[in-house]
């Protein structure tokens, strides 16, 4: 095989590897994502043409004008005309690129007339979704199995998760297709960024700010993304999963999940029953074993990322729970730091993230695990009294 044919075979291999799906920006499922993909490919090809032209001239010169081939250096070193041409020509290309780019940008920023509004709040390291129209609100964090597999040295076979490793959550965001969905982005702690490539939606979630964004999804399906702004230790582990369903399915889902207080009067009876059930859980006396069992689950979801599964923390960054003065000391101080957080540190306020039973059980767990032996229990009713 000649050198040229070998090089061309290698080049074709590379191009075909690169061209197969998964190596380029997804086209996506919204009108905006398709426009963005079109822009991306347009600039890409313009850049390829410019690059090819520049390199062709350069390599021609390198082969022709070399001393070993007897080339004698010319003496020209200035030409105002040429300088003007190669300043003006790129300007024309830039204007040609700028016009469609500006059009798409204007469309992207138009969040008016939305059908559904969802508030997305970033937490270290999970998302909270609040449907402002129906009052549905829940947290969405990395799926527990994936979370176990991604621990240092876990040694779990990742192939069983397929391509969705680290892209699976406990509670996905459910949205309707064929509707304009407006997202409001904010954060409870540090800056995050909510990104779903298939929707071409990426917006920073910034504490103290509310950013807007929108998507009009045309096809049903599950669309996955990630946090894209470094947000601390577990930045790589807060995926976004969006389930786009038909309008009927969406309405059914909303009806099923709308909290009791928001349900119209006709459903008053069931609503009262549901509320009574939750209230009963808060008011009854819980046993130690029950609190510890629930507490361990909650701890691994809400606390272990920083304080570690063994309660030892990471010295200097995250304090240990084992033997900690707070977790073995005054119960009110302990409740307070978990309930209200510690300003100026990574310790978040969990009042809005955990319900009464969850918070009571995790507090009890912290006081009686990892070698801590305080021996007391904290009842959900005590947390309820705080609210």
Site for other proteins in 277-306 (CB under 8 A): none
The position carrying tokens 């007339």 is 113
Could you give the 3-state DSSP secondary structure of residue 212? strand
What is the closest distance, in whole angstroms, from the C-beta atom of residue 174 to other proteins in the complex? 21
Residue 130 parent element (H or E) = strand 126-131
Q: What are phi and psi of 245, to 5 degrees?
A: -125, 170
Q: Which stretch binds other proteins (CB under 8 A): 75-83, 115-123, 281-289, 294-302?
A: 75-83
Residue 383 Cβ vs other proteins, minimum distance, rounded to whole Å: 23
Identified binder of other proteins from the candidate list 164, 270, 272, 279, rule CB under 8 A: 164
Q: Which letter does DSSP use for residue 112 in this model? A: -
Apex CA 307: angle with CA 158 and CA 155, to 5°?
20
Helix (H) or strand (E) holding 107: helix 80-108
Q: Residue 135 or 232: which CB sits closer to other proteins? A: 232
Judge contact between 300 and 365, C-beta under 8 A.
Answer: no
Q: Pattern 243-282, binding to other proteins, x per CB under 8 A?
A: ----------------------------------------
For residues 381 and 357, is the Cβ–Cβ distance under 8 A?
Answer: no
Residues 32-61 vs other proteins: string with x where CB under 8 A?
A: x--xx--xx--xx--x--xx--xx-xx--x
Q: Is the dihedral of CA 263, 269, 274, 276 positive or negative?
A: positive
How many residues in the shown chain lie near other proteins by CB under 8 A? Answer: 106
Q: What order of strands is seen across the sheet that includes strand 192-196?
A: 173-176, 240-245, 221-227, 192-196, 201-205
Q: Which is nearer to other proteins, 49 or 275 (CB)?
A: 49
127 binds other proteins (CB under 8 A): no
138 part of the interface to other proteins, by CB under 8 A: no
Binding to other proteins (CB under 8 A) within 10-29 occurs at 18, 22-26
- Cβ distance to other proteins smaller for residue 27 or 278: 27
């Amino acid at each position: 095989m000649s050198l040229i044919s070998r090089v061309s075979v290698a080049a074709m291999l590379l191009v075909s590897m690169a061209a197969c799906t998964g190596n380029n920006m997804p086209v996506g499922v919204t009108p905006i994502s398709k426009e963005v993909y079109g822009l991306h490919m347009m600039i890409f090809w313009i850049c390829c043409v410019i690059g090819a032209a520049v390199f062709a001239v350069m390599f021609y010169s390198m082969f022709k004008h070399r001393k070993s081939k007897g080339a004698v250096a010319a003496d020209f070193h200035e030409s105002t005309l040429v300088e003007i041409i190669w300043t003006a020509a790129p300007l024309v290309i830039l204007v040609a690129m700028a016009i469609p780019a500006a059009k798409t940008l204007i469309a992207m920023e138009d969040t008016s007339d939305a059908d559904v509004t969802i508030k997305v709040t970033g937490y270290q390291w999970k998302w909270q979704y609040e449907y402002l129209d129906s009052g549905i609100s829940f947290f969405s964090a990395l799926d527990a199995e994936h979370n176990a597999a991604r621990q240092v040295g876990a040694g779990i076979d990742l192939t069983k998760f397929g391509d969705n490793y680290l892209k699976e959550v406990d509670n996905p965001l459910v949205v309707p297709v064929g509707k304009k969905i407006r997202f409001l982005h904010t954060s409870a702690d540090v800056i995050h960024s909510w990104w779903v490539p298939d929707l071409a939606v990426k917006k920073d979630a910034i504490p103290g700010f509310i950013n807007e964004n929108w998507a009009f999804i045309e096809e049903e399906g599950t669309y996955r993304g990630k946090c894209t702004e470094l947000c601390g230790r577990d930045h790589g582990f807060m995926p976004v999963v969006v389930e786009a369903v038909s309008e009927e399915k969406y309405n059914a889902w909303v009806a099923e999940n709308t909290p009791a207080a928001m349900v119209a009067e006709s459903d008053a009876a069931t609503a009262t029953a549901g509320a009574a059930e939750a209230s009963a859980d808060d008011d009854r006396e819980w046993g130690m074993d029950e609190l510890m069992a629930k507490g361990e689950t909650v701890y691994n979801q809400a606390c272990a990322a920083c304080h570690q599964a063994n309660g030892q923390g990471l010295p200097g960054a995250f304090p240990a729970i084992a033997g900690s003065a707070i977790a073995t000391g005054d119960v009110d101080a302990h409740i307070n730091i978990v309930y209200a957080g510690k300003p100026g540190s990574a310790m978040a306020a969990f009042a809005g993230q955990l319900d009464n039973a969850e918070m009571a059980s995790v507090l009890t767990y912290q006081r009686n695990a990892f070698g801590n032996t305080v021996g007391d229990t904290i009842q959900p009713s005590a947390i309820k009294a705080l609210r």
